Amino acid sequence: MEAAFGADYPASLDVDSPEQIARWRPFVQWLLALPHFVVLYALGILSGVVAVVSWFVILFTGKLPIGLAGVQVMYLRYSNRVTAYAGFLLEPYPPFTFGTEDRDPGEYAGVRVDFTSQLEDRNRLTTFFRYILAIPHFIALFFVGIAASVAWFIGAFAVLFTGSWPEGLRRFVIGSMRWTLRVNAYTVLLTDEYPPFSLD
């Protein structure tokens, strides 16, 4: 299992944050995102069911049907858009769109989430042990997630008082989202390529 460089991984995230953010947004934007959280909760349940179905399908056929891959693509893209908005990384409200194509159609300016779903020649062995193989990432992301929460908290006050994110904190938060996306894409079986331990 050779780890890819971050930029070459089959799941990628780019967030183009503006230099200035309205100062009120850190304390209100997550409330505005509540309708999206409801949708995201339902999509999360669907994603979990599809992951189990995909596991069995890949073990028996060595392939991932495009329809199952599309559900995971939709969920992961939607989740990252909502996270970026609720985390006041950008101001435009995310659309209620549910595209299943690998290439981000670009309806949400500022957030781009692209995939290269692996449909053929799947590795049955790594599929069978997928969650065990991902344990090192789960442990690392536990600590990265704590650090990212602290960074978000500090960022909220920075935006409140200055109207902008400190660049280092912003890069770290987006990097943590990027790392999480790659691990999620791996665990829901969109790819057999082991994710890198990287924020880039």
So what's the pLDDT on residue 97? 94
In the numeric block, which tokens belong to residue 34? 């509540």
Q: What pLDDT band is residue 4 in, cutting at 50, 70 and 90?
A: very low
pLDDT exceeds 80 at position 178: yes
**pLDDT, tens digit (0-9, with 9 covering 90-100), for 111-160:** 999 999 999 999 999 999 999 999 999 999 999 999 999 999 999 999 99
pLDDT at 5 (0 to 100): 45
Q: What is the pLDDT of residue 174?
A: 97
Q: What is the DSSP code (8-state) at residue 98?
A: -
Tokens coding 110: 């500022």
pLDDT tens sequence across 55-106 = 999 999 999 999 999 999 999 999 999 999 999 999 999 999 999 999 999 9
pLDDT value, residue 7 = 64
What mean pLDDT do residues 30-41 have? 96
Please say whether the dihedral angle defined by the alpha carbons of residues 60, 64, 69 and 71, taken in this order, is positive or negative: negative
Q: Which backbone phi and psi does 2 adopt, to 5 degrees?
A: -90, 125
The label of the residue with tokens 């409200």 reads 93
pLDDT at 8: 86
